[in-house]
Amino acid sequence: MKLLSIVSALLVSYSSYVQAVDKKDLTGTWSSKSNQVFTGPGFYDPVDELIIEPSLPGISYSFTEDGHWEMATYLVSGNPKDPTCPSAAITFQHGSYDLLDNGTLILNPIAVDGRQLVSDPCNDNGVSTYNRYNQTINFHHFYTQLDDYHGMYKLQLFQFDESPLQPLYLAYRPPMMLPTETLNPTEAATSDNAKPTGKQKRSLRDTVRRNLENRHRTNAVKSKPKSILNSDLVWYLSAGMIGVGSVVFLSS
C-alpha cells in the first residue's frame, strides 16, 4: 500500500512537471552534440530545392512560440556486412506543431515541402535518391533544463515509444529558420489546400531569396555556455597569467 502511494505521488509529480512545460521552453534552434547540423538556409535551399550536406552527421529542431517547427537531420547508418558501405539520409521538414495537455508534442509537416536525400553507395551505383518526404512526428513528452556539464540549455525529446532521442542543445534564440509558410507549392496542394496565385509565388520566392541573402545577418543569436568556466574565460585567464609571469620573470 505504501509503495502504491509513492508511485501515485511520483506519477502526479511527473504529470504536473510535463504539463508545466510550454511553448516558451521549446522556442529556439536546438542541435545535437556534433554542433554541425542546424535548421535554416544553411541546410536547405528552397529556391533551387537543394539540400546542403553538413560536415558531420547530426540533428536539429527549431520551434517558434506561435506553433511552427523545422527539422534538419543527417543520419549515417553502418553496414554490418560491409563496414565500407555505410548508408546516409539527409532530411528536411517543417510545419506546425501541437502541444497537448499531457506533454505530447505532435509535429505536423507541410506535405509538399519535405525533402530527403538518401545515399547507399554500394547499392545505388553512386547515384543518390532525392525524393519528397512527408512524415508526422510524435514525441511522447519532452523537457528542457540547464545542463551543468555543458553549461548549455538542453532539450530532451522522447519518441512515441518513450525512448529518448539524443540530447539537443540550444544553439540560437530566436530560432534560425526558413519562412514558415509553404515553400514549394504544387498545383494540387498548398499548406491550406488553395491554389497559389502567380503573385503569391513571386512574393514567396522573393522572401526566400532575401532569407538566403541575409543568412549571415539573421536576428538569431547564438547561444553561449552558461557555465562560469567557459572557453573564452579560460583563454583570457591563461593569457593574463602568462603575461604576469613574463613581467615577473623579466623584472627578477
Nearest to 39 by CA among 48, 49, 52: 52
For position 150, what pLDDT does the model report? 84
Dihedral sign of CA atoms 141, 145, 149, 151 in order: positive
| Locus of grid cell 567557459 | 230
For position 125, what pLDDT does the model report? 81
How many angstroms separate the Cα of 231 from the Cα of each of 173, 226, 227, 236, 249? Answer: 21, 11, 10, 9, 27
Cβ burial of 77 (10 Å; 0-12, 13-18, 19+) is exposed
CB 204 within 8 A of CB 183: yes
Instruction: Compute the mean pLDDT over every residue in the chain, rounded to the nearest whole number.
Output: 79
Nearest to 88 by CA among 114, 123, 113, 61: 123
Amino acid at 164: P
- Pairwise CA distance, residues 155 & 143, whole Å: 6
Q: How far is CA 231 from the centre of its chain?
A: 24
Report pLDDT digits (tens) over 138-196.
999 999 999 988 899 999 999 999 999 999 999 999 999 999 999 988 655 444 444 44
